[in-house]
Chains A and B, each alone.
Chain A
């Protein structure tokens, strides 16, 4: 990592001048001291374990089985009670964690990759045709309200279950690309890029080997932000009937709960919203902490 040479003593009194003190060491040190951020990380890891358990079939396997009577009250067997047809609400809400992670991971990884690559290309070729094209594309996709784009893509893909993923990726890469583009425009004027040019490194190698790795801190923060956005959108889209169709999602549970809550049964609603709130909040704290740790210029 070509981080700028670190000063001997950090302004915050960070452990001074070890030989390999890079941006990443300092960031890690700062992140570790951020209590809210570390708590967020721990909670996210807990959720991730829960999702892995679901994928491996360790728990929540009976989410679709009828395990009890209609609208049973919470009990030792059914922690959040049962739903209209007697399925265990807790199992369903835990299973939904894996859905959330599935959507979040796919969308965050692909959108960040796409945003990083297109943003870097646009920034490196700023003012040239590639850049104009990418900027135009960003402007165009940004101008179509998100839910309408999802609806339009779902409409065009005629009910394909990945319409939701495609729609999210095709909008969420834009913010990342904007930030990366701005950073690359600054980076490409630095000496190490000039040196690479001078010894005849091909342009695309410069972009992907030498410049893009220097935007990793932006990509990392953006991927957590994208993850949160994907989870929140997944829930709303599933609720609207545009997202998860054969599977379970907090959005579907909340959709189920809309009739129940008026009748005084809160199991579905509480289970889905509490689990979702916990995950989103933890992720928000984590991404705030990452941002604080990795972006020294930001005023807080």
Chain B
């Protein structure tokens, strides 16, 4: 019961944030966005046609009505049709989102799992050479731009100058073999890029936990190192770790896939967004921006509630 109250209170607290993110995307994409009238009209329109299109786009409506209209679009997932292809935006999202998910998921999971393992290893050997080597490599990894990684991996794995084992561009997931064929190089790039940042973050969290008294006590009682690191240290670090993972999901899913997909020509949500940016396709952009922002807020709320589930120390007040 208390838990339910807590969850409801959290949800209520999320309302201003949801209004905020929708307001910002509304202002940028719709209210102050470029005038769409002439992109929808043919050559030499009559004043009546102009007025008709403007009314159709809602430009003659007051601010509040238009904002409410945008909120309704978000709630019903009905954003109209893409200006460039004519495909309904909801259909476009439904077609592209699974591709992005399939593309990003393996790299995301591997990037975090490997980072946690490396961080545990570094923290366990704190200030000795394995730690210094891992952390030095992490800084090097952080210093290499995503772009450089993608191009370099493409040279190494996909071009005639390198191994030439994987395709340069494209996507297919009809069989596991085909999926692996296309997903490997992007996955390696995503893992490589996230590994440095993740490892550094997880190590600092783990090292901080290791300085606590309970860890010293456990060590004094002769807990074996592996058990100590997993049960006494890692389990107590779960809150910052879970936060980071959940918070990076929307970033990886949209920002990460924007670069990867536009580069590898993969028909996911990032590519659709990129194309929409390039041609100024407002219905697609306002849907993507609004929906991801709302999803992000919901993810934050979910994390807050999840904290309570994984850590009884979190106060319900």
Contacts and interface: CB of A to CB of B under 8 A. Distances in A.
B143 A277 contact: yes
B217 interface: no
A299 B208 contact: yes
Interface in B203-217: 204, 207-208, 211
Contacts of A235: 145, 147
B168 interface: yes
A276 B149 CA distance: 12
Contacts of B23: 140
B93 interface: no
Given A148-B288, A151-B285, A242 B21 contact: no
Interface string A235-272: 11001111000000001001001100110101001000
B25 to A, nearest CB: 6
- What bracket does the count of chain A residues touching chain B fall in? 35 or more
Describe B's contact surface by its main secondary structure: helix
A236 B34 contact: no
B17 interface: yes
Contacts, number: 143
Interface in A144-160: 144-149, 151-156, 158
A145 B20 contact: no
Most chain A CB within 10 A, of B147, B211, B274, B282, is at B147
Nearest to A239: B147
Interface stretch (A14-22, A58-66, A68-76, A281-289): A281-289
Interface string A209-240: 00000000000000000000000100110011
A144 to B, nearest CB: 5
B54 to A, nearest CB: 18
Given A155-B285, A236-B147, A242-B277, A299 B207 contact: yes
A236 B147 CA distance: 7
Given A137-B20, A273-B148, A264 B161 contact: yes
B226 to A, nearest CB: 22
Nearest to B30: A156
B188 interface: no
B155 interface: yes
B255 interface: yes
Most chain A CB within 10 A, of B29, B143, B207, is at B143
Contacts of A276: 145, 148
A146 B247 CA distance: 13
B278 interface: yes
B129 to A, nearest CB: 15
Nearest to B32: A156
Interface in B73-107: none
6 contacts: A139-B297, A144-B21, A151-B273, A240-B259, A240-B274, A277-B144
